[in-house]
Structure 1
Amino acid sequence: MTSRNAVIIMSDEHDPRVMGCSGHPFVKTPNLDALAASGVRFPNAYTPSPICVPARAAFATGMRVHQLALWDNAMPYTGATQGWGHLLQEQRVSVESIGKLHYRNEEDRAGFDKEHIPMHVVGGHGMVWASIRDPYITQAPGGKRMLGENIGPGESPYTSYDRAVTRSAIEWLKGASERQGVPFVLYIGLVAPHFPLTCPEEFYKLYPLDQIPEVKQHPSTGYQRHPWVQAYADFMPNEELFKSPEERLQAFAAYYGLVSFLDNSVGQIIQTLEEVGLADQTSVIYTSDHGDNLGARGVWGKSTLYQESVCVPMIVSGPSIEPGVCETPVDLLDLFPTILDAAGVNPTPHMSDRPGRSLLELAKLPAETERVMFSEYHAAGSNTAAFMVRKGRWKYHYYVRFEPELFDLQNDPEELENLAGKTEYATQLREMESVLRKICDPEAVDSQAKHDQAEMIARLGGIEKAATMGSGGATPAPAVAG
């Protein structure tokens, strides 16, 4: 049967390699594994920006961050640029959201008929303090560690929120089953495994501390971070703020546990689709806004261009999809045409300045391994812009005013050796920079981002006031009933 409905599930900060179906040696994700087995998994999937708000704006519109000029976590999507939701509304397809969006506010016409318990940027303005990039704040204000005050087993407002989102999604789907024949697109936004690294006990205990492996390239072993990455690590310290070696191990266990907690939520949603008779009419897409460094190189959170931060999970399943693995590189921009395609709306007339392609089509074609992927970063902890280009086996990081990095993902998938300084790779380095400059002028984009951020700060009352706006830590979850 041809799908007419679509359910998009977006988590937050999920490194795609932390799934059983990706070959992770011990993480338990039976529901995501089953979804991947029933559909197509794209193991080379990327975010347009490794931080929440710009990535989600790009996801909504199918446009790159520098096209939108929504640079950081204080410049949320408002609906001003047409998104896939608006196009669905024009075609009279029911389109609603449940959970985290991280747009500006519920009052904006962002492409949903209704937003259920939405989570948006704090105060409608977000992390304005992190937009102070020139002159540069060298350390995040507030003195709170990013990963949370209580690391380990327990409940947090985020886990309570995800439970409420899952319950709401289940009830929504039950209602949709009573409206058989009315096509719908439902977006579901879950927060896990985003910090704070506080994990429900039943999932936390799946990962004994004595089985946590050591991370790669930790500075304590003599590894020296790239200077741009070092500046970010100084800005957002985490390794230095663990209270004990045991608490550090608890952070890993909590992240893995939160992935399993997330997996459980996904399982409940998919089970409901089956129980109410919608599974054979509905495409299901699972992805995340970006990944998580998870201690690699002594860095936690997102915001770097390494695979663990800039890659996302991407699984598409549905009644017309042949199961398999597609090696074509893809990104969140591809979901713009994919969602329209899944809902029976032709995306072609709307793709003029959008680089995405429908995953439903790509999955049917031979792998296009040389397809170029691009990501950019202009946000917290960066005095200059950072750009990533992936083409085939080569992955290139361009940092304005810093030396670049070049990795051979075929021979070095963990990005352990930077080849940029080796003369035998000079030609490859030039070629990758040329690929980048066909997409954008990195210096001009960096300058524009800083200009826009400075204008915003001035409009909000200046640097002194901006330094206090949104500095209370992670975005608070909406109050939900237990």
Structure 2
Amino acid sequence: MTQPNLLVIMSDEHQARAMGCAGHPFVQTPHLDALAARGIRFTDAYTPSPICVPARAAFATGRHVHQNRLWDNAMPYTGSPSGWGHALQRTGVPVESIGKLHYRHDEDPAGFDTEHIAMQVAGGVGMVWASIRQEEERVHMPGRMLGDYIGPGTSNYTDYDEAVVERSQRWFKERALLKDARPWCLYVGLVAPHFPFVVPEDYLGLYPADRLPEVKLHPRTGYVRHPWVEKQNAMADSESKFRDEAERLCAMSAYYGLTTWMDHNVGRILNGLEAAGFGDDTLVVYTSDHGDNVGARGLWGKSNLYQESVSIPMIMAGPGIAPATCDTPVSLLDLSASIPAHFGSEFDCEGQPLQEIAARPADPERPILSQYHAVGAVSGAFMLRKGRWKLNWYVDYPPELFDLKSDPEELTDLASDPAYRETVRYLEGELRGLMDVDAANEQAFADQAAMVEGYGGREKAMKLGAPAATPPPELPG
């Protein structure tokens, strides 16, 4: 074998700091900790968009959201533009997927030889109703985003993850029996710790409510949310829909329980890899599509530019990887670049291979871009991370500026402080040097309006797509 195999595991909605290896004070992730201990943990990784479908489309293509023009959860990846999977197929690398993709249809040429039990957008169209987001037409989510029930048990999501793990274990066994010496690439998509917040009781019990810390910057303590964030959150306002304080705390416990449940499943996948004889010949990458606020600032889910939402875990371990941490900022686009580079396949994208980044001296000034044009957003939101600074730029709203070196929890917005006026101006110039934010904002609204019109207008669009979490596919048997 000239090259190791490559296994990419992507969870859904895993907050970057919610790992023992990232220094979290109580979240238990022993399998991810072990993976990080024998590999490289990228300490400052980001999603290109803090919501599922645009983030996953950007990961597929290695291109920014504004380049793909796949803006929200009703604009799934269809196989165009060409992605890293196509690059592997062109050079004869076996490439398959198991689990959540959140693309359009199984039938689309999305860059996999086979897609096993793939979760795609609902009905092949996704959340069309959520694309109606202009100020004068703002949509408010009916019901409760986090699910009707929060607590111990199983859900269609935990059942689906169980099936994904079992299919992965079987895939390794089947691959080992093939007389095919070619190195392979397998992508595995898990849904935990994404809501609904239902988790097996043993995992919920790891995080009793009376041991949970107070969340930071809660509005009931006097904190006033940024006006753009306030309007985006009003779309669902999950915090206001808890039945009581006990249920709110149970939601936190369930999120952390689902995180440990997901870690348990990662361990089972890696055990299956080892049992099939691939352990010493496979590079493993673990990441997530975006994070979750878990009650910080009174916010739940993702859909904003704070670290809880936009920062993601990124771990790489396997042959030739020495244990280390890499403090250079990276994104999912860099993972996109890494996959074809691993096999020597040509691939034109915006990222750089993670192994090349890790081999160089740390570069804290490397700029990272993320953006949001989806459900609840009354205008485009753009994040630039550069050095110690993080600029959150909102079209038609005041910006936010955080010094992540002295204020990693983003407790103090410096944007309105005259002492930082030049810093804001400099970072705005850097952001506009990377992209035309105003043009992207206008294009997103235009594309979404055209899509809604194509479905027959607002009334029909309001009935298209899942009301909250995307349903998993029907499982065999």
TM-score higher than 0.5: yes
- 1:382 maps to a residue whose letter is A
Alignment-derived partner of residue 17 in structure 2? 17
Distance of aligned partners of 1:329 and 1:12 in 2 relative to their CA distance in 1, 3 Å threshold: same
Deviations 1:192-218 (A, max 9, x none): 000001111121111111101110000
Alignment correspondent of 2:191: 191
Moved more, 53-62 or 277-286: 277-286
Amino acid aligned to 2:156: P
The aligned amino acid for 2:290 is H
Which of 345, 365, 379 is equivalent to 2:360?
365
The answer to whether residue 436 in structure 2 is matched with residue 437 in structure 1 is no
Q: Secondary structure at the match of 1:191?
A: strand
Task: Name the residue aligned to 1:250.
Answer: 250
Does structure 2 retain, via aligned residues, the 8 Å contact 1:3–1:319? no
Secondary structure of the structure 2 residue equivalent to 1:190: strand
Paired residues for 1:175-214 under 5 Å: 175-179=174-178, 181-214=181-214
Q: Within the alignment, does 1:295 sit opposite 2:295 as a pair?
A: yes
Superposed counterparts of 1:21-420, under 5 Å: 21-134=21-134, 136-141=136-141, 143-179=142-178, 181-342=181-342, 344-347=343-346, 350-351=347-348, 354-420=349-415
Question: What amino acid is the match of 1:46?
Answer: Y
Provide the rounded CA distance (Å) in 1 between the counterparts of 2:271 and 2:191.
20
In the alignment, does 2:2 pair up with 1:7?
no
What is the CA-CA distance between 1:377 and the residue it aligns to? 0.4
**Native 8 Å contact 2:3 2:183 kept in 1:** no
Which portions of structure 1, spanning 4 or more consecutive aligned residues, are displaced by more than 3 angstroms? Answer: 135-139
Local SS of the residue matching 2:284: strand
Give, in whole Å, the separation in 2 of the partners of 1:174 and 1:243. 46
Deviation at 1:135, TM superposition (A): 5.2
Separation of aligned partners in 1, 2:135 and 2:326 = 44
Letter in structure 2 aligned against 1:175: E
Q: In the aligned structure 1, how far is the partner of 2:137 from the partner of 2:247? A: 28
- Give deviations 1:288-342, integer Å, cap 9, x for gaps: 0000011000000000000000011000111111111000100000012211122
Question: Which stretches in structure 2 are left out of the alignment for 5+ residues?
Answer: none
The 8 Å contact of residues 48 and 375 in structure 1, kept in 2 or not, is answered as yes
- Partners of 1:27 and 1:129 in 2: how far apart? 35
* Structure 1: distance between partners of 2:95 and 2:208: 42
| Cα distance in 2, alignment partners of residues 28 and 409 from structure 1 | 25
Deviation for aligned residue 1:139 = 4.1
Aligned pairs, how many? Answer: 476
Displacement, 1:4? Answer: 2.5
| CA distance, structure 2, for counterparts of residue 2 and residue 380 of structure 1 | 45
Which amino acid in structure 1 is aligned with residue 123 of structure 2? G
Report the secondary structure of 1:274's partner residue.
Answer: helix
CA RMSD in angstroms, aligned pairs only: 1.2
Alignment partners' CA distance in 2, 1:307 and 1:271:
32
Tell me the CA shift for residue 481 of structure 1: 4.8
Secondary structure of the structure 2 residue equivalent to 1:186: strand
Q: Indicate the residue corresponding to 1:448 in structure 2.
A: 443
SS in 1 for 2:187: strand
What amino acid maps onto 1:205 in structure 2?
A: G
Query: Which amino acid in the other structure matches residue 23 of structure 2?
Result: G
- Per the TM alignment, residue 178 of structure 1 is displaced from its structure 2 partner at its CA by 2.2
Contact 1:89–1:111 (Cα < 8 Å) also in 2: yes
Q: Residues 136 and 322 of structure 1: is their aligned pair in 2 closer, same or farther, counting only changes over 3 Å?
A: farther
Q: How many Å apart are 1:346 and its aligned residue?
A: 4.0
Q: Deviations over 1:89-120 (max 9, x none)?
A: 11111100000000001010000000000000
Distance 2:139 2:246 in 1: 26
The one-letter code of the counterpart of 1:199 is V
Give the whole-Å Cα distance in 1 for the aligned partners of 2:216 and 2:171.
43
Do the aligned partners of 1:136 and 1:383 also contact (CA within 8 Å) in 2? no
Query: Is the CA contact (8 Å cut-off) linking 1:151 and 1:250 kept in structure 2?
Result: yes
The one-letter code of the counterpart of 2:312 is: V
Contact 2:5–2:281 (8 Å) recurs in 1: yes
How many Å separate the matches in 1 of 2:289 and 2:466?
21
1:48-67 Cα shifts (integer Å, max 9, x gaps): 00000000000000000000
Identical columns (%): 56
**Counterpart in the other structure of 1:477:** 472
Displacement of 1:3 after TM fit? 4.0
Take 1:377 and 1:472, find their aligned partners in 2: how far apart are those partners? Answer: 19
Distance in 2 (CA, whole Å) between partners of 1:225 and 1:54 is 25
1:467 deviates by: 1.3
2:418 pairs, out of 416, 419, 423, with 423
Q: Distance in 2 between matches of 1:19 and 1:208?
A: 18
Answer whether contact 1:165 1:190 (CA < 8 A) is retained: yes
d(CA) in 2 for partners of 1:399, 1:376 = 10
